[in-house]
Structure 1
Amino acid sequence: MSKKVVLLDYGSGNIRSGERALERVGADVTVTADFDEALNADGLLVPGVGAFEACMTGLRGVRGDVLVDRRLAAGRPVLGICVGMQILFAIGIEHGVETEGCEQWPGVVERLRPTGDEPVPHMGWNTVEVDGKTKLFDGIEKERFYFVHSYGVREWQLTGTRESVTPTVTWTEYGGDRFVAAVENGPLTATQFHPEKSGDAGAELLANWIGSL
């Protein structure tokens, strides 16, 4: 039986591409902002494109922050993608504006700081530094994934994470600047890159997530 996955529609994110990518790997996908349906699905995918503050406003508008909290308290899987990952952290700072996130993880989302002449946003294909404990990257440890972003989490703060399970943190480097590319933390998983735009490697990563539901 196909796993039921809700792709949360809160006004931000590549809804159609995410829906197609999940369907490609066999998920039964519903795009909705309905709280109860999202709460009871096998998996919840939280997308996100644009500014941290705007995404948080949209998320709170559909009680998405409460939804994520309740799902995780019940051990129900959540996957955040791009800004949908960033808003899981405590704080986002963009253009001097500080916005509170969902605070599932401590840490600050801030502008990337490449040390050379590399442009920001970081846009294109890049490799990731995969930890040996990963389940998300099983079989695709050496693949490249597609990134489009100007902000990221440049320092991982373990102290204060809510889960008792030690998170598996995957990193990427761009222009000498390292930032978090993915986190696996019990039922809470997130990627800075876009698996739905990452071809076969992205499909395999989503299949790994679906297989864990």
Structure 2
Amino acid sequence: MIAIIDYGVGNLRSVEKAFGFIGAEAVVSSDSELILGADAVVLPGVGAFADAMDSLERFDMINTVKTAIDRGKPFLGICLGMQLLFEYSQEGGERVRGLGVFKGSIRQLPLDMGLKVPHMGWNSIKTAEDCAVFGNLSPKPYVYFVHSYYLTAEDRSIVAATARYGIEFDVAVCKDKVCATQFHPEKSGETGLQILKNWVASI
């Protein structure tokens, strides 16, 4: 069973529906005992970084997330759920602390690129050859994004995919049992479903 963390922030039902579509049992929960007892954990998220951190604290999920990762439980972060795994975000012009699972920062996409911000829609990504989560995909798969801030990971060895939208930035990380994506696999059609299938197969 896959536990999708409900902390009041996130596109929970579409994630749950996507797992159901590929035949994986998933449940939305804010019960720490259930989450830590699950076979795998998903941290989704949309919205502002600071608000999400406040919600994690309010739902008493910060320790739950860190414990799940420390125990080596298969873990998937999606969109803001990926960003929260890093040290801090510059969203709102401030340095807002994240969970600090990985070293790196979240920064605003430049507003002078001649491109619309937020970055919303389909974009190709360049994936690492050694990441099983991206197996059985086309050479330059297209996935769906909705974000105004991007990741710069300090440890380049964990970067599993990058994308270009005016600038090149990190859009997926994988290390040990933790994987996370800036894009939304649950909204990325057949490509996204294949990524979720690959992740479930790795559990």
TM-score, normalised via structure 1 length:
0.91
Letter matched to residue 33 of structure 2:
D
Structure 2 unmatched runs, 5+:
none
Inter-partner Cα distance in structure 1 for 2:202 and 2:134:
12
Inter-partner Cα distance in structure 1 for 2:108 and 2:29:
31
Partner of 2:192: 202
Inter-partner Cα distance in structure 2 for 1:182 and 1:105:
12
Worse-superposed segment, 60-69 or 97-106: 60-69
**Partner-residue secondary structure (3-state), 2:87:** strand
| CA deviation after TM superposition for structure 1 residue 180, in Å | 1.0
| Counterpart among 99, 104, 108 of residue 107 in structure 1 | 104
| CA deviation after TM superposition for structure 1 residue 121, in Å | 0.5
Partner of 2:116: 119
Partner of 1:172: 163
1:5 aligns with 2:2: yes
Inter-partner Cα distance in structure 2 for 1:52 and 1:106:
16
Inter-partner Cα distance in structure 1 for 2:124 and 2:92:
28
Contact 2:162 2:172 in 1 (8 A): yes
Contact 1:35 1:62 in 2 (8 A): no
Q: Deviations over 1:50-80 (max 9, x none)?
A: 0000111111222222112111211101101
Inter-partner Cα distance in structure 1 for 2:111 and 2:124:
16
Partner of 1:191: 181
Q: Deviations over 1:120-153 (max 9, x none)?
A: 1001101111111111110114220000000011
Inter-partner Cα distance in structure 2 for 1:46 and 1:28:
16
Contact 2:153 2:159 in 1 (8 A): no
Letter matched to residue 160 of structure 2:
V
Matches within 5 A, 1:30-69: 30-69=27-66
**Partner-residue secondary structure (3-state), 2:168:** strand
State, as a whole percentage, how many aligned pairs show the same letter.
Answer: 38
RMSD: 1.4
**Partner-residue secondary structure (3-state), 2:174:** strand
After the TM superposition, which parts of structure 1 deviate over 3 Å for at least 4 consecutive aligned residues? none
| CA deviation after TM superposition for structure 1 residue 168, in Å | 4.1
TM-score, normalised via structure 2 length:
0.95
Contact 1:8 1:38 in 2 (8 A): yes
Partner of 1:132: 129
**Partner-residue secondary structure (3-state), 2:35:** helix
Contact 2:123 2:145 in 1 (8 A): yes
Structure 1 unmatched runs, 5+:
160-165
| CA deviation after TM superposition for structure 1 residue 26, in Å | 1.4
Inter-partner Cα distance in structure 1 for 2:191 and 2:133:
11
Number of equivalenced pairs: 202
